[in-house]
Structure 1
Amino acid sequence: MRLKRLCQMLFLLAGLAPLAAGSARAETDIPTLKMDPALHEMLPEAIKKSGELTVATDAHYPPCEYFAEDGKTIIGFEPDVWNAMAQKLGIKVKPSSIDFSGIIPGVQSGRYNASFACLSDRLEREKTVTFIDFWYGAAAIYAPEANKTITEDPLTLCGLKTAVQVGIDFGDMVRDIFSKHCVANGKPPIEVSEFPSASQVLLALYAGRIDFALSDAAAVDDIQKKATQPIKVIESPLLPKIYLGAIVEKSNTQLADALFAALKAVYAEGVYDKIVDKWNLHLLKLDEPGINLASTRPIETPKP
């Protein structure tokens, strides 16, 4: 059902070990695009006047977005996408890295025009923000290699302990899919803890306080390379596939339309494909972007 390595772990070692910023992929050139005056005119007047789009992100999740070696420049798959969109719109992007939990409130309040932060498009979120979706997310389980009891069978997770970062979807995924599957089969549910940061989740795993962790797919090679002990990545038939995208405040339809039009231009000029090639994210590539795809083009969710 799931292509091999589609469900791979998003690198979560923020604060544990620095990625080698300036890696070969991060230095790969992406073509500079020409401004399209018609797209520029679609922007809200305030953004046209300032010439910049304020973007909230959490720059601790390679390859989504992370800090370069200078500790200031934000690079990654999504920054490459937002920069290409900005070029078509004739503006600059002013990104700010903040705590993940503050991203949606920051967009809702108007403090930021938009957010790019590997955000999963969910029906509940679509009530307050508009999604411009342009790639997939896929979840994976990871656990110490030495733990031979955890397998691709979801029932091997029953009664175990896990942890997730506050504000991330995966706690609901464990409770609503995996634990329900356990209970339906006469087994105990999974015990879920929450931590403020992804690095704390990993520390809990390495210390043996939890048995496994769950998060987005994108860079399993990085996490396995940087882990303090051998880590295995496990596929499961209960792991769902989701849409990921940028967000704007729900009522700001003018900005949503402008960003979506710019994104389609980036696709049409072949730059999206080049960015996917650069970050080796072919299995997460979304061939046709869209607005609020969780509701307009829903993906069937695995049933517990």
Structure 2
Amino acid sequence: MKTPTAHSPVKRIQRGIPAVIATAALLLAATACAPGTATSQSTPSTPSGDSGGSGTGVPALAVNDAAAQLLPESIKSTKVLRVAIPTNEPPTQFYREGTQEMTGTNPDIARLLGEALGVKVEIQVANFDSIIPGIAAGRYDMTVSSMTPTEKRMEVLDFVDYMQMGNSIAVAKGNPQGITDQHVLCGRKVGLLTGSYQLTVNVPEYDKACTAAGKDTIQRSEFQDTRQAISALSSGRLDAVLADSPILNFAATQNPQIEIAAKYDFTPVGVGMPKDSGLIKAVSAALSGVIKSDSYLKVLGKYGLESSAITDARVNFAQ
């Protein structure tokens, strides 16, 4: 989920430094995902099988030996990457029905990264707002959570782009309010995900434009996940919901009471890791290979997100 929810902070070193944790908390703003339980899943690297990720359906990917050699010694010795990911936001991350197995574009791309680096991926499911402090405290090595690289976040995290996504505006079926784009949201009742990029970056900018035009600012309502926001929209308590495109687009295919009024602002999101973790060179080299692979396109295609593919794994490119 794209956010600055400060798509921002952190992934493995000696932390626990109060100042770092405080900074991480302040920079929070990322994909407004729903609360997840603090569970973990181990996904062994299986570069020669038909489905990597220990039966998770991730296409096989050969180990990138050059990238693996760049891993910090702490990761080389454990051969484990602890990846923090939120849940409850299909198709980017969610539990496979009837299981505690995480699936979606973010878990699958984390697994591809693990295969490329020849390490086991342990997916740590956590509330989004606990990810940055958790990385600062050394509980996670990185996050793959649709986090938008921003200058604020890059004060504490390094980022490598891995896919792109935009904003969507969902409205009630038939669009009774006549909402056509973000420029007509002034004075409207809009649902937003807590800590999201839309809430922390987009809406403040829109409000300035509204005020400059002599119009009322957006009436914000915050929700922990899109299901809650869409329920409020369907019941008439909201005029619109503004969130990441993949999430709202998927929701619109599942709920006949809503439709998408606008899609815009497509920008990359990145894998985030602590600046002093020593991971950036290895992750950058591995992701450069991942996004050029058929496995990457297969993962995105599995969730109908082929248009989210990128061709350049840029490092620390602020949005």
Note if 1:288 corresponds to 2:316. no
Q: Structure 1 residues 167, 14: closer, same or farther in 2, change over 3 A? A: closer
Which of 255, 261, 277 lines up with 1:234 in the alignment? Answer: 261
Map Cα deviations across residues 89-119 of structure 1 (whole Å, 9 max, x no partner): 1111000111111112211222100111111
TM-score for both structures, normalised by structure 2: 0.76
CA distance in 1, matches of 2:63, 2:108: 16
Q: What amino acid maps onto 2:266 in structure 1?
A: K
CA contact (8 A) 1:248 1:256 kept: yes
Alpha-carbon distance, 1:231 to partner: 0.7
**Which residue matches 1:127?**
155
Map Cα deviations across residues 168-196 of structure 1 (whole Å, 9 max, x no partner): 11113443232222222221111113233
Alpha-carbon distance, 1:247 to partner: 0.6
Q: Structure 1 residues 265, 292: closer, same or farther in 2, change over 3 A? A: same
Q: What are the within-5 Å matches in structure 2 for residues 1-304 of structure 1?
A: 30-220=58-248, 222-227=250-255, 230-235=257-262, 239-252=264-277, 254-294=278-318
Q: Structure 1 residues 11, 230: closer, same or farther in 2, change over 3 A? A: farther
CA distance in 2, matches of 1:52, 1:171: 34
CA contact (8 A) 1:57 1:96 kept: yes
CA distance in 1, matches of 2:304, 2:114: 23
CA distance in 2, matches of 1:114, 1:153: 34
CA contact (8 A) 1:55 1:113 kept: yes
CA contact (8 A) 1:14 1:198 kept: no
Map Cα deviations across residues 67-99 of structure 1 (whole Å, 9 max, x no partner): 112421111112222212211211110001111
Q: Structure 1 residues 199, 151: closer, same or farther in 2, change over 3 A? A: closer
Q: Structure 1 residues 73, 34: closer, same or farther in 2, change over 3 A? A: same
The unaligned stretches of length 5 or more in structure 1 are 1-9, 16-26, 299-304
TM-score for both structures, normalised by structure 1: 0.80
CA distance in 2, matches of 1:65, 1:281: 13
**Which residue matches 2:50?**
none
Map Cα deviations across residues 179-216 of structure 1 (whole Å, 9 max, x no partner): 22222222111111323343332333233222211001
Aligned pairs, number: 271
The unaligned stretches of length 5 or more in structure 2 are 1-30, 37-54
CA distance in 1, matches of 2:157, 2:33: 26
CA distance in 2, matches of 1:12, 1:116: 12
CA distance in 2, matches of 1:270, 1:140: 28
Q: What amino acid maps onto 2:165 in structure 1?
A: G
Q: Structure 1 residues 225, 215: closer, same or farther in 2, change over 3 A? A: same
Map Cα deviations across residues 137-183 of structure 1 (whole Å, 9 max, x no partner): 20011111254223215453221111322211111344323222222
Q: Structure 1 residues 145, 93: closer, same or farther in 2, change over 3 A? A: same
CA contact (8 A) 1:14 1:61 kept: no
CA contact (8 A) 2:32 2:195 kept: no
Alpha-carbon distance, 1:14 to partner: 9.1
CA distance in 1, matches of 2:94, 2:285: 26
Q: Structure 1 residues 224, 270: closer, same or farther in 2, change over 3 A? A: closer
CA contact (8 A) 1:195 1:201 kept: yes
Alpha-carbon distance, 1:280 to partner: 2.5
Alpha-carbon distance, 1:285 to partner: 1.6
CA contact (8 A) 2:68 2:118 kept: yes
CA distance in 1, matches of 2:300, 2:125: 23
Q: Structure 1 residues 50, 71: closer, same or farther in 2, change over 3 A? A: same
Alpha-carbon distance, 1:292 to partner: 1.4
Secondary structure of the residue that 2:301 maps to in structure 1?
Answer: helix
Aligned sequence identity (%): 27
